[in-house]
């Protein structure tokens, strides 16, 4: 298995030395070149706004400062370490993984990354992992464990979707929350629960129980357009004007995490091996919903 950590730091620096009128071509043909296949599969335009990146014109000082913060924190080597550790775990579990994965770290627009983490990621298409980050005190702390946990999460998505039969048209709530729950559980197994997303750790008490009740009654609902309301919760009303669901933003991640944790503790199966088990089976056997 081969993985590549793209040298986006030097590519950004090179782009920032170009005149404004040349930057879009550089962004598309150099910075995003390894991800062309991803954008084609997603039918998405090759522009910064598509992934929540910082605008590439008019913000040179901010971008250089962000690059320096990430470089000083050794972000690209930390990304390599996270990938190497993740790969080893799945090799040891004898779980098939993609033959090649390219990882890109991109500068995030703080106006888009509104949560305290200041980062997001995408790893739903095997072969590609993108991390978008606006470096801050929160995500730079403790040896960049948040960044490494995010990479582990997205790597898990790569492995799951490489092995699973997946159909977004027919996907159920049960199956989707398990995808996120497994990814967060894998990240937690490497770096500790405190470094997974606050979309998991901050949903607790009455919010957690309310989400558990609502989602527990919707486990068999199918079709991504309906399912995502239970994954992203009331965040969707800001995204597409959906009616409020009564579920805190991103609470489906938290419910998925706790359901997967219940399954792992009940069965003794490792999170790596659980990656190959159908999500609906995991939910049924977890006992988390009674």
pLDDT per position as a tens digit, 184-193: 999 999 999 9
For the chain, give the mean pLDDT.
93
DSSP state of 222: B
Q: How confident is the model at residue 70 (pLDDT cuts 50, 70, 90)?
A: very high
Domain boundaries, the chain: 2-163, 173-286
CB distance 122 to 154 below 8 Å: yes
Q: Are strands 2-5 and 119-122 parallel, antiparallel or unpaired?
A: unpaired
pTM higher than the cut 0.85? yes
CB distance 264 to 188 below 8 Å: no
Q: Are strands 119-122 and 100-107 parallel, antiparallel or unpaired?
A: unpaired
Q: Order of strands across the sheet with 128-133? A: 2-5, 100-107, 128-133, 119-122
Comparing 89-93, 100-104, 116-120, 125-129, which segment has the lowest mean pLDDT? 116-120
Q: Is the CA virtual torsion 140, 142, 144, 146 positive or negative?
A: negative
pLDDT per position as a tens digit, 120-164: 999 999 999 999 999 999 899 888 999 999 999 999 999 999 999
State yes or no: pLDDT of 239 exceeds 70: no
Q: How confident is the model at residue 45 (pLDDT cuts 50, 70, 90)?
A: confident
CB distance 40 to 32 below 8 Å: no
d(CA 126, CA 114): 27
CB distance 176 to 252 below 8 Å: yes
End-to-end C-alpha distance for the chain, whole angstroms:
40
CB distance 127 to 100 below 8 Å: yes
* Beta-sheet strands, E only, within the chain: 2-5, 100-107, 119-122, 128-133
Residue 35 makes CB contacts below 8 A (sequence gap 6+) with 102, 104, 128, 130
């Amino acid at each position: 298995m081969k993985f590549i950590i793209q040298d986006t730091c030097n590519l950004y620096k090179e782009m920032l030395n170009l005149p404004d009128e040349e930057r879009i071509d550089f962004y598309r043909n150099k910075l995003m070149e390894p991800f062309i296949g991803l954008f084609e599969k997603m039918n998405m335009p090759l522009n910064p706004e598509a992934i929540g990146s910082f605008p590439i014109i008019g913000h040179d000082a901010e971008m250089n400062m962000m690059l320096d913060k990430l470089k000083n924190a050794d972000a690209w080597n930390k990304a390599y370490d996270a990938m190497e550790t993740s790969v080893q775990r799945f090799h040891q579990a004898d779980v098939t993984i993609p033959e090649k994965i390219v990882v890109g770290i991109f500068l995030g627009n703080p106006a888009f990354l509104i949560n305290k983490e200041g980062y997001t990621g995408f790893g739903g298409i095997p072969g590609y992992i993108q991390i978008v980050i606006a470096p801050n005190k929160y995500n730079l702390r403790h040896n960049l464990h948040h960044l490494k946990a995010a990479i582990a999460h997205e790597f898990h998505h790569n492995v799951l979707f490489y092995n699973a039969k997946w159909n977004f048209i027919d996907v159920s709530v049960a199956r989707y929350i398990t995808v996120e729950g497994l990814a967060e559980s894998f990240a937690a197994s490497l770096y500790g629960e405190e470094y997974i997303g606050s979309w998991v750790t901050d949903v607790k008490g009455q919010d957690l129980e309310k989400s558990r009740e609502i989602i527990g009654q919707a486990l068999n609902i199918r079709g991504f357009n309906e399912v995502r309301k239970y994954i992203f919760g009331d965040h969707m009303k800001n995204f597409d004007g959906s009616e409020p669901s009564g579920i805190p933003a991103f609470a489906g991640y938290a419910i998925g995490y706790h359901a997967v944790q219940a399954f792992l503790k009940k069965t003794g199966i490792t999170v790596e091996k659980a990656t190959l088990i159908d999500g609906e089976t995991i939910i049924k056997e977890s006992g988390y919903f009674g």
